[in-house]
Structure 1
Amino acid sequence: MSIVMAIHIAAGLLALPSGTVAVGARKGGRLHARAGTVFFGSMVVLGVTAAMLEPFRDPPGSPIAGLFVLYFIATSWVAARRRDGTTGKFEIIACAAALGLAALIAWDAFTGTSDTPAGRGPLFAAAGLCLLAGLLDLNAILRRRLTPAQRIARHLWRMCFAFFIATGSFFLGQQDVLPAAVRGSPVLFVLAFAPFAVMAFWLVRLRFAKAIARLKLRVPVPEQA
């Protein structure tokens, strides 16, 4: 598993800067697209290698965490690629996968098969998130075609959540590899949860885009002397 671990670490080191560039670059631009592609590929590798490594941890973990990553990154990527907003077989498969993951995670939490240092609470939260994602998949399937705003929102929140998995795993879960002076620092928590702040900003901006545009039209432009 040492080779798999090396690949996992390399993918994580690639995911963090590429995700940061994708978030900071102009949306829809070439840099955003290229950085997003690199981020997608590195997160796929992270998900696959995490699923392979978890059973060999001490104590053993569940490969469900890796599948969790793959689900969110894949559905976000497809939402970005389908510019016409159509939904189809992929969303049906994704919906079944999300609802299945929710059931598995909830079962592990109820039966005590899996646990976390913080108890079973995070497992129930993950199960609830999967259930919500699956229901949103079902909503997209029933709509058959998403509006541009719905498609972007679907891409945005899923990609940001996948990015949080990367930042949280590194800045909070791997503090032992960081300098001793920054371990436990609030800065690490800010960096870990930064994707949620970015997600909130863009979702609010997307939600009120028309209102912002109308406001700009009403602002008088000063006449040139």
Structure 2
Amino acid sequence: MIDIPGLPEPDAGPVFDLALLVHVAAGLTGVLAGLVAMLARKGGRWHITAGRVFLGGVVALFGSMVVMVVIRWPATVHLAVLGGIALAAVLLGWHNRRRGESDGVHIAWMGLAYVAMLTAFYVDNGPHLPVWERLPGWSFWILPAAIGAPITVWAIRRHRPPPSTGAGL
């Protein structure tokens, strides 16, 4: 069994333990890479590289989540839903950039992926974390979006193209 201080983990066998190890590594990678991508100059080398690592982290997170959800079904079906949302959002955000479409749509999808990833973490682990343990259960579902949504909206507004001057009409 993997022992993560402060977080109870079920003794579900070596397959679960291996999936959990991959899951923790992928989660940390995704959170850090997502943060670097958010803070780096858009379109620059750091942003692109961190974005690719974020994509890989979310894909690995989803794969390891599937293994753990199957082992602990049906108690963890809500985590499967959040993982599906994170995976779909990161793939849609990546697809949007690959097609050269709107920065705002790309930012919205990637923001949703990040928020869904953090929501799953807090829903599953929040009741066992210092300070978070004092919060009501509903807050683990709401707080990541309540914090992430305004930041995402701000980022979309900040990176929106300048209005056209109307020349050529």
TM-score by length of 1: 0.54
Q: Report the alpha carbon displacement of residue 174 of structure 1 after superposing the two structures with TM.
A: 1.3
1:107-141 alpha-carbon deviations (Å, 9 max, x no partner): xxxxxxxxxxxxxxxxxxxxxxxxxxxxxxxxxxx
Identity of aligned residues (%): 27
Matched, 1:183 2:133: yes
Identify the residue that residue 95 of structure 2 maps to in structure 1: 78
Distance in 2 between residues matched to 1:167 and 1:203, nearest whole Å: 20
Gap runs ≥5 in structure 2: 1-15
Q: Which runs of 4+ in 1 moved over 6 A?
A: 188-191
Identify the residue that residue 113 of structure 1 maps to in structure 2: none
Distance in 2 between residues matched to 1:64 and 1:15, nearest whole Å: 18
Identify the residue that residue 69 of structure 2 maps to in structure 1: 54
Q: Report the alpha carbon displacement of residue 23 of structure 1 after superposing the two structures with TM.
A: 0.8
Instruction: Give the length in aligned residue pairs.
Output: 145
Distance in 2 between residues matched to 1:190 and 1:59, nearest whole Å: 22
Is residue 48–residue 67 contact of structure 1 (8 Å, CA) maintained in 2?
no
Aligned Cα RMSD in Å?
3.0
Q: Report the alpha carbon displacement of residue 37 of structure 1 after superposing the two structures with TM.
A: 1.1
SS at match of 1:26: coil
Question: Counterpart of 2:26 in structure 1: which amino acid?
Answer: A
TM-score by length of 2: 0.70
Distance in 1 between residues matched to 2:85 and 2:120, nearest whole Å: 13
Is residue 12–residue 46 contact of structure 1 (8 Å, CA) maintained in 2?
yes
Q: Report the alpha carbon displacement of residue 189 of structure 1 after superposing the two structures with TM.
A: 8.8
Distance in 1 between residues matched to 2:62 and 2:91, nearest whole Å: 11
Matched, 1:205 2:128: no
Question: Counterpart of 1:28 in structure 2: which amino acid?
Answer: G
Identify the residue that residue 22 of structure 1 maps to in structure 2: 37
Distance in 1 between residues matched to 2:141 and 2:83, nearest whole Å: 22
Is residue 47–residue 66 contact of structure 1 (8 Å, CA) maintained in 2?
yes
SS at match of 2:124: coil
Question: Counterpart of 1:183 in structure 2: which amino acid?
Answer: E
Rg larger for: 1
